[in-house]
Structure 1
Amino acid sequence: MDDLRREPITIDLEGGRGLDPRAVADAIIAIETMVRSLEGHEPHSDLGLTGLSMGSAHMTIMAPASDVAHLRRGLRQLSNEAIIPQGWSRKGVHALVELGRVSKRHGVEEVNLQFISMHPIRIDSIVQENAEKALAPASVALGSARGVLYRYSNDQSKHRRSAALRDYRTGDAIELSFPAALATHFKRFLDAEVEVWGEVARDQEGKLLKLTADGIELLTPVGEQVTPESVTGLFGEEWTDGLDPVDWVRAQRD
């Protein structure tokens, strides 16, 4: 069957002696992320490293043929235009950007991908720029988002404050950044339902990508849980056809 066929992807890191070993690790991780994030990729399908030679570094990874086809088409598109290729995700395009950055590692002069019956595709500045443009927001405006605040980070050493919100309508993860003045609120509201407002960045399809917060409001208290007492009397007698709730449950079991 076609979905069981596997094809090689060869990563060529061209350069001189003394190539930074981290370049090899970064390149393998980037390719793995790109393949695993493709639409239709079988999550339990393993990728296999079948070849590795050093000097310049050449690594061959076997991947499902359908994934390789998606990858080839997307790379051709990104060689010509700034777009999220069909079948790709933002995560995959971001991984391509990371693959391009491998060329900045010591000893690496070029990063190329080689497929069957194709000239090598160079991950050059044009591909890199198109990928970065494709990831850039299409619009920025004032707005708000509502959902559960599930991640909080305040790295004072790097002056980096961030959080993540799970949108209550779509379930999408929304990246948040916030000023130092709001850090206490974000930390205190972790795992609660909140509304955050500020500068909102959206992609070409209108999907909310990131929100730079000017304010946050608590909607549901932290750790609030539904208890039997909190729902007592919520349903009227007609819900059990007039039966005592215990007798009604027993009738359902019978």
Structure 2
Amino acid sequence: MSSTRTMAATKRLTADALAEALVERTGHAFVDRQRLQRALTHASARGVNAGTDYERFEFLGDRVLGLVVADMLLAAFPDAAEGELSLRLNALVNAEALSEIAEDIGLPDLIRAGSDVRGLEGRKRVNLRADALESLIAVLYLDGGLQAARAFIHRYWHPRSQASGAARRDAKTELQEWAHQAASAVPTYQIDSREGPDHDPLFTVTVRVGAFQPATGSGRSKREAEQAAAAALLLREGVWNAA
């Protein structure tokens, strides 16, 4: 079955069917199934003024995820300095990591969204999946407490926390040092565009280093877009290997 047909089918799932579909993936049997359904319903499927629940759950889920991952890292790396822990945390809670985990558990097929949103590509699709996963974490927390949220997060984030390269320095810092050595230059960043609504913007940034070809990246904030652009240049020049 194609992805489009699958999403069209799961869009019509009842609250009970949705909860059943997520029991094995989350390890939790949801009590408030209507809330779960609201958490996975994008504003595009509910009208112009809808989607408040989705966005509020996303806000809460982001905080729960950060707390649990920070606690997990403190326990897993007792000798790590604060700087290393911050790098590991950022690598585990950024949009790319969340989007990949959402894909791993089949969450995109369970999101209720309008046809225009279901067809998103690139960075906007990454953000949509990341937001939905944060919303799911919030509902796990509200429905089963911190224990339920922690069990889910440990299940999918702990293996990633042990991966090589998880504590790699942030791209902007790495690029600045490399640019100084390779070109005696300082990277310069330029905002190419800002799209989307105020609550969910998408920035596109280009970075330039001396005579090297510029690189471009996108993100939900100016800083995130700059990091993406810096990473793209580092990967292209072979300074970093794809992780």
- TM-score where L is the length of structure 1: 0.26
- Structure whose residues are more often strand by fraction: 1
Structure whose CA Rg is larger: 1
Structure (1 or 2) with the greater helix fraction: 2
